[in-house]
Amino acid sequence: MQIIITGGGGFLGQKLASALLQASIPFDELLLVDLKMPPRLSDSPRLRCLEADLTRPGVVEDLISDRTGVVYHLAAIVSSHAEEDFDLGWQVNLDLTRQLLEACRRRPGIRFVFSSSLAVYGGTLPGTVTDATALTPRSSYGAQKAACELLVNDYTRKGYVDGLALRLPTICVRPGKPNRAASSFVSSIVREPLQGDTAVCPVPESLRLWISSPATVIANLLRAATLPAPGDARSLNLPGLSVTVGEMLETLRAVAGDEARARVSQQHDEAISAIVASWPGRIDNQRALALGFQADDSFRAIVDRFLTEDLAEAP
């Protein structure tokens, strides 16, 4: 059995690959695909890395074979980028997903794990979002992810794939550099000051976020590979932790002192604030928890884990 990760060179793709190689899930090949050759994170003979532009004709069709058992579709144009380049966003985030689903359809039964996003929500939301809350995206990225969820659910209902559309919480603390996601600051305001650098907070401290550590997201993605088919409704909000930006900054102070806290300056960005404020700050996770997905215990635990695992690993 083969497992494929699109966006396999990205942060999540690499973390997931590393976890899969250590997990007890039986497979004989793990194929990482990305636009640029994915870093070879292990010398396992089960690992294969492929540089390919999946949007080129025929590439996706060649990718999926009778051996394929699980596809993690993580590749995407991130939110700010999709907002700047409308055409590219729809082509990659919608059309490529559809092409992948089509390729999988020829070999029914493939577990298709689609990484969706909180950006499917927007506008005025209830205090606690549930599975019954309407998707009202206020960004092209969110609209594209929501459209893909419809595809994943319909292909699943027809028996063409065995799909799961998992809405990932905002990941924090994400190691590395800022990216073009509107949520990039959520990690920056903790990651940079912990390393002696300054960071800008573009949103009010009162803003409530729904977050998950990288490790918890990866554990949940592993769970998605073997989860028994959960009935009709295949879109799921992954469990997360509800924190305000102010609580995050106070935790930073508690862990690393006033000096670290002082490295974060407030500089309001209306565009980013509008996008992020339109995402849910609290979600009812009963269904996901019952299915064996998990959440972090506290923001303090998330920061501690970043310090001991990610910063310790850094070169």
Q: Which is nearer to its own copies, 233 or 311 (CB)?
A: 233
- Report whether 33 contacts 15 (CB < 8 A): no
CB of 235 to its own copies, least distance (A): 8
Distance of CA 302 to the CA centre of its chain: 16
How far is 200 from 267, CA to CA, in rounded Å? 6
**Quick one: tokens of 235?**
């879109």
**Quick one: tokens of 42?**
């292990």
Q: Which of 151, 194, 245, 256 binds its own copies (CB under 8 A)?
A: 151
Instruction: Restricting to residues 276-295, name those near its own copies by CB under 8 A.
Output: none
Angle between helices 140-157 and 97-105 (to 10 degrees): 10
How far is 313 from 38, CA to CA, in rounded Å? 19
How far is 121 from 240, CA to CA, in rounded Å? 15
123: left (phi over 0), alpha (psi -120 to 50) or beta: left
- Report whether 234 contacts 194 (CB < 8 A): no
Q: Which is nearer to its own copies, 29 or 131 (CB)?
A: 131
CB of 154 to its own copies, least distance (A): 4
Q: Which of 92, 147, 172, 302 binds its own copies (CB under 8 A)?
A: 147
* One character per residue 10-49, x = contact with its own copies (rule: CB under 8 A): ----------------------------------------
Our finding on whether 116 is near its own copies (CB under 8 A) is: no
Our finding on whether 158 is near its own copies (CB under 8 A) is: yes
Strand ranges of the sheet holding 68-73, from the earlier edge strand across to the other edge:
47-51, 29-34, 2-6, 68-73, 111-117, 162-168, 235-237
Our finding on whether 118 is near its own copies (CB under 8 A) is: no
Q: Which of 153, 170, 183, 251 binds its own copies (CB under 8 A)?
A: 153
Catalytic, 141? Answer yes
Q: What is the largest CA-CA distance in the chain?
A: 58
- Report whether 36 contacts 44 (CB < 8 A): no
CB of 44 to its own copies, least distance (A): 39
- Residue length of the chain: 315
Our finding on whether 268 is near its own copies (CB under 8 A) is: no
Instruction: Restricting to residues 127-146, name those near its own copies by CB under 8 A.
Output: 131-138, 140, 143, 146
CB of 229 to its own copies, least distance (A): 16
From 124-132, 177-185, 213-221, 284-292, span contacting its own copies (CB under 8 A) = 124-132
Give every CB contact of residue 205 below 8 A, 6+ residues apart in sequence: 244, 245, 246, 249, 266
Instruction: Restricting to residues 73-112, name those near its own copies by CB under 8 A.
Output: 86
Q: Which is nearer to its own copies, 160 or 210 (CB)?
A: 160
- Report whether 28 contacts 3 (CB < 8 A): no
Instruction: Restricting to residues 211-240, name those near its own copies by CB under 8 A.
Output: 232-233
| Choice among 121, 141, 155, 160 that is catalytic | 141
Q: Which is nearer to its own copies, 146 or 209 (CB)?
A: 146
Q: Which residues bind its own copies (CB under 8 A)?
A: 86, 123, 126, 131-138, 140, 143, 146-147, 150-151, 153-154, 157-158, 232-233
Q: Active-site positions?
A: 141
